[in-house]
Amino acid sequence: MDQELFSAVDAFICGTVVEEDEALRSAVSAAEEAGLPGIQVSPPQGKLLQLLVRLVGAKTILEFGTLGGYSAILMARALPEDGRLVTLEARPEYAEVARRSIDAAGVGEKVEIRVGPALEALPGLKDAGPFDLVFIDADKVNTPNYFAWALERTRAGGLIVADNVVRDGSLADAADPDEATKAQRRLHEMLSEDSRVSATTIQTVGVKGYDGFLIAFVEPA
Ligand code: SAH
Ligand code: DHB
Ligand code: MG
């Protein structure tokens, strides 16, 4: 691992093709000041989410794991005027920080935060879908459960994206006892047998170290 190099390259990318404006920087500092962990997507990863939202022409997005609202702000900004994003956050104190930053970024009307464990929030989302894009980034052990739920409620041609599936490469280790890693292996095995989606996983390095995204395209019936 060459963390210094990965961070230097992210810094170059952020100085050129990826711009982080004042509202995003404020969201990061507000989260930091409130004691939230700095585990939001990196700016280049966030830009990928924005491009995916635009490529899909998404109008309805579901996010698992709000934290301080950083990825929600990015995706909401890529939505059209009448687009909507619902984001699920277990911790009320995180949701409060996120609410303020999302409003300050000017996308408050597009974003609804539902507070509570995501699995408990799902029954209440019956009328919120179908979704054009789902971003799964909450408690990693439940990623396969969130994916299975999302797959039933994502339109054909839509995307389901899951963060943190590579986990320093432990994804390749069948003997890894970590439950979060086992869940990502199970997710991949699940998808290998599911003709409803076509998926890939892209390994990433950067300011957040070595990890990766799974991107799944929902096939027409
Ligand atoms: N998507 C955010 C980062 C999310 S970090 C961004 O990139 O800006 C993961 C978040 O998931 C944390 O805020 C954590 O509190 C939340 N979380 C953990 N378990 C959860 C659960 N069971 N339901 C909903 N959110 C959960
Ligand atoms: C953690 C969560 C994330 O979503 C992430 O991108 C990195 C780390 C965590 O819970 O430690
Ligand atoms: Mg993540």
Q: One-letter amino acid identity for 91?
A: R
Query: What CATH number is associated with residue 178?
Result: 3.40.50.150
Host H or E run for residue 122: none
User: How far is 2 from 11, CA to CA, in rounded Å?
Assistant: 14
Distances (CA, A) of 215 to 28, 35, 52, 71, 200: 25, 30, 10, 16, 6
DSSP code, position 42: P
187 lines ligand 1 (CB under 6 A): no
DSSP 8-state assignment for residue 129: -
Please give the pLDDT value at position 127: 82
Question: Low-confidence residues of the chain, pLDDT below 70?
Answer: none
Number of separate domains in the chain: 1
Instruction: Return the beta strands (E) in the chain as ranges.
Output: 60-64, 84-89, 111-115, 131-136, 154-162, 197-206, 209-218
Which pLDDT value is given to residue 88?
98
Q: What would you report as the CA-atom Rg of the chain, rounded to the nearest whole angstrom?
A: 17
pTM here is 0.98
Residues contacting ligand 2 via CB (< 6 Å): 39, 137, 163-164
Residue 126 pLDDT: 82
Question: Which residues constitute the domain of residue 197?
Answer: 3-120+128-218
> Would you state the pLDDT for residue 109?
98
Measured between alpha carbons, how far is 208 from 221 in angstroms, rounded to an integer?
37
**How many CB atoms within 10 Å of residue 34?**
15
Give me 181's structure tokens: 């890693």
Q: Using one digit for the tens of pLDDT, what is the confidence trace for 93-150?
A: 999 999 999 999 999 999 999 999 999 999 999 888 899 999 999 999 999 999 999 9
Of 36, 45, 35, the C-alpha closest to 74 is 45
With a 6 Å cutoff on the Cβ, whether 139 touches ligand 1 is: yes
- Measured distance CA(100)–CA(130) in Å, rounded: 27
CA 25-58-128 angle, to 5 degrees, is: 95
Residue nearest to atom 8 of ligand 2 (CA): 39
Ligand 2, atom 2, residue with closest C-alpha: 39
Q: What is the best residue among 140, 181, 207, 214 to mutate for testing ligand 2's pocket, by most ligand atoms within 8 Å of CB?
A: 140
* Contact call for residues 69 and 98 (beta carbons, < 8 A): yes
- Residue 164 CA to ligand 3 center (angstroms) comes to 5
Mutate to test the pocket of ligand 1, among 24, 39, 125 (most ligand atoms within 8 A of CB): 39
For position 158, what pLDDT does the model report? 98
Whole-number Å distance between alpha carbons of 28 and 76 = 16
Alpha helices in 89-220 (DSSP H): 92-104, 118-121, 143-151, 179-192
